[in-house]
Amino acid sequence: MPQPDIRRPVVAGAGTMGTTLARIFAQHGFAVTLWNRRTPSLDRARARIAGDLDRLAAQGLLIEDPAAVAERIAYTTHEAAFDGADFVVENIAEDLEVKRAFFRRISPRVAPWALLTTNTSGLRVTDVAQGAADPARFCGMHWWNPPDLMPLVEITRGESTSPETAQAVHALALALGKKPVIVQKDILGIVGNRLQYAVMREALHILATGAAGPEEIDAAMKYGPGFRYAVLGPFETADLGGVDIFQAVSDYLFPDLNRDQRSPALHALVDQGRLGVKAGDGFYSYAPGQGEAARQRRDDLFQKLWEILREG
Protein backbone atom coordinates (compact mmCIF):
# COMPACT_ATOMS: atom_id res chain seq x y z
CA MET A 1 0.00 0.00 0.00
CA PRO A 2 1.43 3.45 -0.87
CA GLN A 3 2.38 5.89 1.85
CA PRO A 4 -0.73 7.73 3.12
CA ASP A 5 -0.90 11.38 2.13
CA ILE A 6 -0.38 12.79 5.62
CA ARG A 7 -0.02 16.57 5.62
CA ARG A 8 -1.18 17.70 9.06
CA PRO A 9 0.02 15.31 11.77
CA VAL A 10 -0.48 16.19 15.43
CA VAL A 11 1.35 14.56 18.32
CA ALA A 12 -0.68 14.79 21.54
CA GLY A 13 1.27 14.81 24.78
CA ALA A 14 4.68 16.42 25.35
CA GLY A 15 6.20 13.86 27.68
CA THR A 16 9.30 11.87 26.78
CA MET A 17 7.50 9.80 24.14
CA GLY A 18 5.50 12.58 22.48
CA THR A 19 8.47 14.95 22.40
CA THR A 20 10.61 12.40 20.60
CA LEU A 21 7.81 11.49 18.17
CA ALA A 22 7.43 15.14 17.16
CA ARG A 23 11.16 15.23 16.38
CA ILE A 24 10.93 11.97 14.39
CA PHE A 25 8.15 13.40 12.22
CA ALA A 26 10.10 16.63 11.68
CA GLN A 27 13.28 14.75 10.78
CA HIS A 28 11.32 12.92 8.09
CA GLY A 29 10.09 16.14 6.51
CA PHE A 30 6.67 16.52 8.16
CA ALA A 31 5.40 19.84 9.45
CA VAL A 32 4.11 18.56 12.79
CA THR A 33 2.28 20.08 15.75
CA LEU A 34 3.06 19.04 19.31
CA TRP A 35 0.05 19.63 21.55
CA ASN A 36 0.00 19.56 25.32
CA ARG A 37 -2.37 20.95 27.95
CA ARG A 38 0.37 22.78 29.85
CA THR A 39 2.89 25.30 28.55
CA PRO A 40 5.81 24.29 30.85
CA SER A 41 5.79 20.81 29.33
CA LEU A 42 5.99 22.32 25.85
CA ASP A 43 8.87 24.55 26.93
CA ARG A 44 10.77 21.52 28.18
CA ALA A 45 9.95 19.66 24.96
CA ARG A 46 11.26 22.52 22.83
CA ALA A 47 14.53 22.65 24.79
CA ARG A 48 14.98 18.88 24.65
CA ILE A 49 14.33 18.72 20.92
CA ALA A 50 16.84 21.50 20.30
CA GLY A 51 19.44 19.66 22.37
CA ASP A 52 18.74 16.33 20.65
CA LEU A 53 19.03 17.87 17.19
CA ASP A 54 22.34 19.53 18.07
CA ARG A 55 23.65 16.23 19.44
CA LEU A 56 22.59 14.32 16.33
CA ALA A 57 24.22 16.95 14.10
CA ALA A 58 27.46 16.72 16.09
CA GLN A 59 27.41 12.92 15.66
CA GLY A 60 26.87 13.23 11.92
CA LEU A 61 23.44 11.62 12.19
CA LEU A 62 21.41 14.58 10.90
CA ILE A 63 21.44 15.39 7.21
CA GLU A 64 19.85 18.84 7.66
CA ASP A 65 20.65 21.91 9.67
CA PRO A 66 19.10 21.47 13.15
CA ALA A 67 17.30 24.80 12.86
CA ALA A 68 15.58 23.69 9.64
CA VAL A 69 14.22 20.59 11.34
CA ALA A 70 13.17 22.51 14.46
CA GLU A 71 11.22 24.99 12.36
CA ARG A 72 8.90 22.22 11.20
CA ILE A 73 7.59 21.70 14.75
CA ALA A 74 4.80 23.90 16.12
CA TYR A 75 3.95 23.91 19.83
CA THR A 76 0.52 24.69 21.24
CA THR A 77 -1.86 24.21 24.17
CA HIS A 78 -4.92 24.99 22.02
CA GLU A 79 -7.14 22.18 20.78
CA ALA A 80 -7.70 24.17 17.61
CA ALA A 81 -4.47 22.44 16.54
CA PHE A 82 -6.62 19.41 15.75
CA ASP A 83 -8.85 21.31 13.33
CA GLY A 84 -8.40 19.59 9.98
CA ALA A 85 -5.61 17.31 11.23
CA ASP A 86 -5.27 14.15 9.15
CA PHE A 87 -3.23 12.10 11.61
CA VAL A 88 -3.10 12.05 15.41
CA VAL A 89 -0.90 9.96 17.67
CA GLU A 90 -1.93 10.26 21.33
CA ASN A 91 0.60 9.92 24.16
CA ILE A 92 -1.28 11.35 27.14
CA ALA A 93 -1.88 9.78 30.56
CA GLU A 94 -2.25 5.98 30.59
CA ASP A 95 -5.81 6.28 31.89
CA LEU A 96 -8.72 4.88 29.91
CA GLU A 97 -11.23 7.60 30.77
CA VAL A 98 -8.70 10.38 30.14
CA LYS A 99 -7.91 8.96 26.72
CA ARG A 100 -11.57 8.44 25.82
CA ALA A 101 -12.42 11.99 26.87
CA PHE A 102 -9.54 13.32 24.76
CA PHE A 103 -10.76 11.55 21.63
CA ARG A 104 -14.34 12.63 22.25
CA ARG A 105 -13.15 16.24 22.21
CA ILE A 106 -10.85 16.11 19.22
CA SER A 107 -12.70 13.63 16.96
CA PRO A 108 -15.20 16.27 15.73
CA ARG A 109 -12.33 18.62 14.89
CA VAL A 110 -10.09 16.43 12.72
CA ALA A 111 -10.50 15.89 9.00
CA PRO A 112 -13.22 13.34 8.12
CA TRP A 113 -10.55 11.04 6.67
CA ALA A 114 -8.14 11.42 9.58
CA LEU A 115 -6.37 8.45 11.12
CA LEU A 116 -6.44 8.42 14.92
CA THR A 117 -3.99 6.34 16.95
CA THR A 118 -3.19 5.71 20.60
CA ASN A 119 0.31 4.91 21.84
CA THR A 120 -0.98 2.85 24.76
CA SER A 121 1.15 -0.11 25.77
CA GLY A 122 -1.39 -1.72 28.08
CA LEU A 123 -4.98 -0.62 27.46
CA ARG A 124 -7.20 -2.34 24.92
CA VAL A 125 -7.41 -0.33 21.72
CA THR A 126 -11.09 -1.24 21.40
CA ASP A 127 -11.82 0.36 24.77
CA VAL A 128 -9.94 3.57 23.94
CA ALA A 129 -11.66 3.73 20.52
CA GLN A 130 -15.03 4.20 22.22
CA GLY A 131 -14.10 7.87 22.49
CA ALA A 132 -13.55 8.20 18.74
CA ALA A 133 -16.27 9.32 16.37
CA ASP A 134 -15.26 6.69 13.80
CA PRO A 135 -13.61 3.61 15.39
CA ALA A 136 -12.96 2.20 11.92
CA ARG A 137 -10.30 4.89 11.46
CA PHE A 138 -8.76 4.26 14.89
CA CYS A 139 -5.96 1.87 15.86
CA GLY A 140 -3.12 1.36 18.29
CA MET A 141 0.35 2.63 17.38
CA HIS A 142 2.67 1.47 20.13
CA TRP A 143 6.19 2.86 19.92
CA TRP A 144 8.94 1.32 22.02
CA ASN A 145 11.07 3.56 24.24
CA PRO A 146 13.33 5.26 23.21
CA PRO A 147 11.24 5.63 20.05
CA ASP A 148 13.98 7.21 17.97
CA LEU A 149 16.26 4.20 18.53
CA MET A 150 13.86 1.26 18.87
CA PRO A 151 12.77 0.07 15.40
CA LEU A 152 9.54 -1.70 16.41
CA VAL A 153 6.13 -0.07 16.09
CA GLU A 154 3.14 -2.28 16.95
CA ILE A 155 -0.04 -1.40 15.08
CA THR A 156 -3.03 -2.99 16.77
CA ARG A 157 -6.42 -3.41 15.18
CA GLY A 158 -9.29 -2.82 17.55
CA GLU A 159 -12.52 -4.70 17.02
CA SER A 160 -13.77 -1.97 14.65
CA THR A 161 -10.49 -0.95 13.00
CA SER A 162 -10.67 -1.29 9.23
CA PRO A 163 -7.92 -3.18 7.40
CA GLU A 164 -7.29 -0.02 5.38
CA THR A 165 -6.59 2.00 8.53
CA ALA A 166 -4.07 -0.53 9.82
CA GLN A 167 -2.34 -0.70 6.46
CA ALA A 168 -2.18 3.09 6.16
CA VAL A 169 -0.61 3.46 9.61
CA HIS A 170 1.77 0.63 8.74
CA ALA A 171 2.83 2.53 5.62
CA LEU A 172 3.34 5.70 7.65
CA ALA A 173 5.55 3.87 10.15
CA LEU A 174 7.66 2.56 7.27
CA ALA A 175 7.98 6.11 5.93
CA LEU A 176 9.26 7.14 9.37
CA GLY A 177 12.03 4.55 9.13
CA LYS A 178 10.51 1.97 11.47
CA LYS A 179 9.88 -1.80 11.38
CA PRO A 180 6.13 -2.02 12.03
CA VAL A 181 4.02 -5.10 12.64
CA ILE A 182 0.22 -5.31 12.43
CA VAL A 183 -1.41 -7.10 15.37
CA GLN A 184 -4.72 -8.48 14.15
CA LYS A 185 -6.27 -9.10 17.57
CA ASP A 186 -6.62 -6.61 20.43
CA ILE A 187 -4.73 -8.39 23.23
CA LEU A 188 -3.28 -7.04 26.49
CA GLY A 189 0.41 -6.25 26.17
CA ILE A 190 0.22 -6.50 22.36
CA VAL A 191 3.09 -8.77 21.21
CA GLY A 192 6.33 -7.27 22.43
CA ASN A 193 5.30 -6.75 26.05
CA ARG A 194 3.84 -10.24 26.32
CA LEU A 195 7.17 -11.67 25.23
CA GLN A 196 9.12 -9.25 27.42
CA TYR A 197 7.13 -10.01 30.56
CA ALA A 198 7.24 -13.74 29.98
CA VAL A 199 11.03 -13.44 30.09
CA MET A 200 10.85 -11.10 33.11
CA ARG A 201 8.68 -13.53 35.06
CA GLU A 202 11.13 -16.37 34.49
CA ALA A 203 14.12 -14.12 35.28
CA LEU A 204 12.52 -13.18 38.61
CA HIS A 205 11.85 -16.85 39.33
CA ILE A 206 15.47 -17.82 38.64
CA LEU A 207 16.59 -14.98 40.92
CA ALA A 208 14.21 -16.12 43.68
CA THR A 209 15.48 -19.70 43.55
CA GLY A 210 19.04 -18.49 44.06
CA ALA A 211 20.20 -20.25 40.90
CA ALA A 212 21.75 -17.02 39.62
CA GLY A 213 22.02 -13.33 40.55
CA PRO A 214 20.99 -10.26 38.53
CA GLU A 215 24.40 -9.96 36.86
CA GLU A 216 24.44 -13.59 35.75
CA ILE A 217 20.84 -13.53 34.54
CA ASP A 218 21.36 -10.31 32.58
CA ALA A 219 24.56 -11.68 31.05
CA ALA A 220 22.87 -14.97 30.10
CA MET A 221 20.09 -13.02 28.36
CA LYS A 222 22.33 -10.51 26.58
CA TYR A 223 24.92 -12.98 25.31
CA GLY A 224 22.56 -15.90 24.69
CA PRO A 225 18.92 -15.44 23.62
CA GLY A 226 19.20 -11.66 23.39
CA PHE A 227 22.14 -11.87 21.01
CA ARG A 228 20.28 -14.39 18.87
CA TYR A 229 16.98 -12.52 18.95
CA ALA A 230 18.55 -9.41 17.46
CA VAL A 231 18.80 -11.47 14.26
CA LEU A 232 16.22 -14.25 14.54
CA GLY A 233 12.74 -14.46 16.03
CA PRO A 234 11.65 -17.47 18.11
CA PHE A 235 10.04 -19.32 15.20
CA GLU A 236 13.01 -18.71 12.89
CA THR A 237 15.23 -19.99 15.71
CA ALA A 238 13.16 -23.16 16.03
CA ASP A 239 13.23 -23.82 12.30
CA LEU A 240 17.00 -23.41 12.13
CA GLY A 241 17.61 -25.40 15.30
CA GLY A 242 15.10 -28.13 14.50
CA VAL A 243 11.45 -28.09 15.50
CA ASP A 244 11.82 -31.63 16.83
CA ILE A 245 14.54 -30.47 19.24
CA PHE A 246 12.38 -27.61 20.49
CA GLN A 247 9.44 -29.97 20.92
CA ALA A 248 11.52 -32.39 22.98
CA VAL A 249 12.88 -29.66 25.25
CA SER A 250 9.47 -28.00 25.63
CA ASP A 251 7.92 -31.27 26.84
CA TYR A 252 10.10 -31.36 29.97
CA LEU A 253 10.84 -27.62 30.40
CA PHE A 254 7.39 -26.05 29.98
CA PRO A 255 6.00 -27.79 33.11
CA ASP A 256 8.93 -26.46 35.13
CA LEU A 257 8.65 -22.81 34.03
CA ASN A 258 7.26 -20.27 36.47
CA ARG A 259 3.55 -19.44 36.40
CA ASP A 260 3.27 -17.01 39.33
CA GLN A 261 0.62 -14.30 38.98
CA ARG A 262 2.50 -11.81 41.19
CA SER A 263 6.17 -11.04 41.79
CA PRO A 264 7.15 -10.57 45.45
CA ALA A 265 10.57 -9.28 44.35
CA LEU A 266 9.13 -6.48 42.20
CA HIS A 267 6.64 -5.47 44.89
CA ALA A 268 9.39 -5.42 47.51
CA LEU A 269 11.58 -3.14 45.40
CA VAL A 270 8.71 -0.73 44.78
CA ASP A 271 7.73 -0.72 48.46
CA GLN A 272 11.33 0.17 49.33
CA GLY A 273 11.43 2.99 46.78
CA ARG A 274 14.09 1.18 44.76
CA LEU A 275 12.67 2.13 41.37
CA GLY A 276 15.79 1.81 39.26
CA VAL A 277 17.93 4.49 37.64
CA LYS A 278 15.51 7.30 38.47
CA ALA A 279 15.81 6.51 42.19
CA GLY A 280 19.50 5.60 42.21
CA ASP A 281 18.76 2.01 43.22
CA GLY A 282 16.84 -0.98 41.87
CA PHE A 283 18.20 -4.42 41.05
CA TYR A 284 21.50 -2.52 40.88
CA SER A 285 22.74 0.60 42.69
CA TYR A 286 23.69 3.77 40.80
CA ALA A 287 26.05 6.40 42.14
CA PRO A 288 25.43 10.00 41.01
CA GLY A 289 25.95 10.19 37.26
CA GLN A 290 25.95 6.42 36.73
CA GLY A 291 22.29 6.28 35.77
CA GLU A 292 22.70 8.83 32.99
CA ALA A 293 25.86 7.06 31.85
CA ALA A 294 23.89 3.81 31.68
CA ARG A 295 21.21 5.47 29.55
CA GLN A 296 23.81 6.97 27.21
CA ARG A 297 25.58 3.64 26.82
CA ARG A 298 22.23 2.00 26.05
CA ASP A 299 21.43 4.63 23.41
CA ASP A 300 24.87 4.41 21.80
CA LEU A 301 24.65 0.62 21.55
CA PHE A 302 21.09 0.77 20.22
CA GLN A 303 22.25 3.19 17.52
CA LYS A 304 25.13 0.94 16.48
CA LEU A 305 22.94 -2.17 16.49
CA TRP A 306 20.23 -0.51 14.41
CA GLU A 307 22.79 0.62 11.86
CA ILE A 308 23.87 -3.01 11.48
CA LEU A 309 20.33 -4.44 11.33
CA ARG A 310 18.60 -1.67 9.36
CA GLU A 311 18.59 -3.54 6.07
CA GLY A 312 17.67 -6.88 7.62
Kindly indicate the confidence band of residue 196, based on its pLDDT and cuts at 50, 70 and 90: very high
Q: What is the pLDDT of residue 310?
A: 83
Report the DSSP beta bridge partners of residue 116: 88, 138
Q: Are strands 152-157 and 138-143 parallel, antiparallel or unpaired?
A: antiparallel
Number of neighbours of residue 197 by Cβ within 10 angstroms: 12
Phi, psi of 183 (to 5 degrees): -100, 115
Query: What are the backbone dihedrals phi and psi of residue 67, each rounded to the nearest 5 degrees, phi first?
Result: -65, -35
Note the CATH number of domain 9-183.
3.40.50.720
193-309 CATH pick, 1.20.1560.10, 1.20.120.1080, 1.10.1040.10, 1.10.274.50: 1.10.1040.10
Q: 102 and 77 in contact (C-beta within 8 Å)?
A: no
d(CA 23, CA 29): 10
Q: How far apart are CA 203 and CA 197, in angstroms?
A: 9
Domain spans in the chain, listed from the N-terminal domain onward: 9-183, 193-309
- Helix (H) or strand (E) run with residue 182 in it: strand 179-183
Mean pLDDT to the nearest integer, 67-92: 98
DSSP H or E run through 20: helix 16-27
Nearest-10 crossing angle of helices 192-209, 214-223: 140
pLDDT digits (tens, 9 = 90+) for 279-297: 999 999 999 999 999 999 9
pLDDT digits (tens, 9 = 90+) for 99-147: 999 999 999 999 999 999 999 988 999 999 999 999 999 999 999 999 9
